[in-house]
Chain A
Amino acid sequence: MILQIGTYFLVEKFILIAIVLAISLLVAMYSTYAERKVAAVIQDRLGPNRAGPFGILQPLADGAKLFFKEEIIPSHSTRFLFILGPSLAMLTACMTGAVIPWGDSLHLGGHVVPLQVADVNIGILYIFGVVSLGVYGIMIGAWASNNKFSLLGGIRAASQIISYELAMGLALIALLMLTGSLSLNDIVRQQHGFWKGGYFTWNAFRQPVGFLIFLVCAFAECNRTPFDLAECENELVNGYHTEYSSMKLGFYLFAEYVNMFISSAVMATLFFGGYNFPFMDHLGLSANWITVLGVVALFLKIGLLIFLFMWVRWTIPRFRYDQLMKLGWKMLIPLALLNILVTGGVALYFNH
């Protein structure tokens, strides 16, 4: 079979990819600002407010600072891998956005433009694959640094991600038993609206335990604070990026924020109805307007989830390593298995 790919299709996808990439980078940039602001208000401070009105130029200043810093590559490091590490972290962070449906289709002059870069029918598997690649960036960078602290950080990151990916996958299996599809587009469409047939349509209300497990695992996958064992400052001197400086360090830090944005987007898509919002069928607006509002709704949900990430980060301290492993293997995985069992039972009861 010959693939029928027209120029129009290519141009459309290129524009979409550029927009998605730009938006993820922009959101990540302002997440750094938001993180500092959230940290500040939680700690009764004001936060950055000097660069521009309310300090909104702060991320630019931070980025410029990182760019102009001296670039150090340790003489005992493996040069190629040392550079590959942050590049890979950044690359995998940006790749996940491809399968997320950012909105419903737009109808532009006879063309139907789906606001999704690639509607693959195994979208969830793609996300899992790319997310597990993400740890290679950390591991390679840690290994190439040739530093004991970095290596310890890398080992911790690897073992942590392996442990939590299991629970994450199991939590999703329970969800997939309800949706019956691996395509993110289908999953979002099933959550149309907010209330239907006497119950919520959003998966967070159908799979609360699954959502909780997924949330905890997403924190772990993003190396965010209760689980930032890989880069803990006080034990490992920043772990895997001890030896990094300048923009390579910036890429590692930035990749964390892109990851946070993407995992918030994935959670919003899987559990909070993606671009669906309550009363979307009763507003009496044209389909295009509903789509635009849907995109706004999705970004609102993503913003709230990012705030949740930061709120948790500035609330609780880091887990000890044995607590982390115990939580992953002895609590989350059995809980996820139990969730699968209960979900199966309930699904059978209602479908018979």
Chain B
Amino acid sequence: MQALTDRAMPVDRRPLNFWEKMYLPGIFKGMAITMRHIFRKKATISYPEQKRPFSPVFRGLQILNRDEEGRERCTACGLCAVACPAEAITMEGAERKPGEEHLYREEKYAAKYEINMLRCIFCGFCEEACPKDAIYLTETFAPSSFERDHFIYGKEDLLIPLPGEETKTPRP
């Protein structure tokens, strides 16, 4: 039979010789190996105190971006929802009223914008689809919770806070 990989090794099925039948040399060899491992550097990362650094291309929770004047960039065009392969994004658009120009950048804005983090696969297609640079993936992930409802992130969770505004505490 042809080997599937170049790393295949034939199994040695010769009967054990006397030295091997004594077991002890093999056992001592093994014990030397485990003794060496005692002094090795440990692979564990003590999680809450120590965190593993994310790679620069890590894709985590989405945020909704603002422009330089602090206005929401999202115009509720729905392209992100169309691009989303997991169908995690829903939104409702609304028309900007006179006097709200300091809140929303364009005439239309997202009155409701929800991402279901249980459905989201963090592929980043929404980020790529967005023509207004309104949605970005950050380097955090959703905190754990016992409630399914807690994973549906609304606008208040996704919008980045204005400078000076309190950062919204993550949901329990």
User: Given A311-B35, A327-B23, A45 and B42 touching (CB < 8 A)?
Assistant: yes
In the complex, A46→B49 CA distance in Å? 14
Residue B7 interfacial (CB < 8 Å): no
Residue A5 interfacial (CB < 8 Å): no
* B27→A315 contact, CB < 8 A: yes
Name which of A36-44, A164-172, A264-272, A339-347 contacts chain B.
A36-44
* A42→B27 contact, CB < 8 A: no
CB-contacts of B1-30 with A (<8 A): 21, 23-24, 27, 30
* B30→A315 contact, CB < 8 A: yes
User: Given A46-B44, A327-B23, A311 and B37 touching (CB < 8 A)?
Assistant: no
Residue A316 interfacial (CB < 8 Å): yes
In the complex, A42→B38 CA distance in Å? 5
**A31-56, CB under 8 A of B: which get 1 and which 0?**
00000000001111110010000000
With beta carbons under 8 angstroms apart, the residue of B23, B35, B42 that contacts A46 is B42
* B23→A315 contact, CB < 8 A: no
Residue B57 interfacial (CB < 8 Å): no
Residue B31 interfacial (CB < 8 Å): yes
* A41→B37 contact, CB < 8 A: yes
Residue A312 interfacial (CB < 8 Å): yes
In the complex, A312→B24 CA distance in Å? 11
Q: Cβ of B40: which chain A residues have Cβ within 8 Å of it? A: 44
* A45→B34 contact, CB < 8 A: no
How many chain A residues touch the partner (CB < 8 A)? 15
Q: Cβ of B33: which chain A residues have Cβ within 8 Å of it? A: 315
How many chain B residues touch the partner (CB < 8 A)? 17
* B34→A42 contact, CB < 8 A: yes
User: Given A41-B37, A41-B38, A327-B23, A46 and B46 touching (CB < 8 A)?
Assistant: yes
Name the residue on B nearest A319 (C-beta).
B23
Min CB distance, A259 to chain B, in Å? 21
Q: Cβ of A46: which chain B residues have Cβ within 8 Å of it? A: 42, 44, 46
Min CB distance, B33 to chain A, in Å? 8
In the complex, A316→B26 CA distance in Å? 9
**A299-319, CB under 8 A of B: which get 1 and which 0?**
000000000000110111000
Q: Cβ of A314: which chain B residues have Cβ within 8 Å of it? A: 34
Name the residue on A nearest B22 (C-beta).
A331
Name the residue on B nearest A47 (C-beta).
B44
Q: Cβ of B24: which chain A residues have Cβ within 8 Å of it? A: 212
User: Given A311-B35, A327-B23, A44 and B42 touching (CB < 8 A)?
Assistant: yes
Q: Cβ of B38: which chain A residues have Cβ within 8 Å of it? A: 41-42
Q: Cβ of A327: which chain B residues have Cβ within 8 Å of it? A: 23
Min CB distance, A173 to chain B, in Å? 22
Min CB distance, B29 to chain A, in Å? 9
Some 9 contacts from A to B, beta carbons below 8 A apart, are A41-B37, A41-B38, A43-B37, A46-B44, A46-B46, A312-B31, A315-B33, A316-B27, A327-B23
Q: A42-B34, A43-B37, A46-B46 are in contact. List 20 more A-B contacts (CB 8 A).
A: A41-B38, A41-B42, A42-B38, A44-B37, A44-B40, A44-B41, A44-B43, A45-B43, A46-B42, A46-B44, A49-B46, A212-B24, A311-B34, A311-B35, A312-B27, A312-B31, A315-B27, A315-B31, A315-B34, A316-B27
4 tightest Cβ-Cβ pairs between the two chains A and B: A46-B44, A315-B30, A315-B34, A42-B34
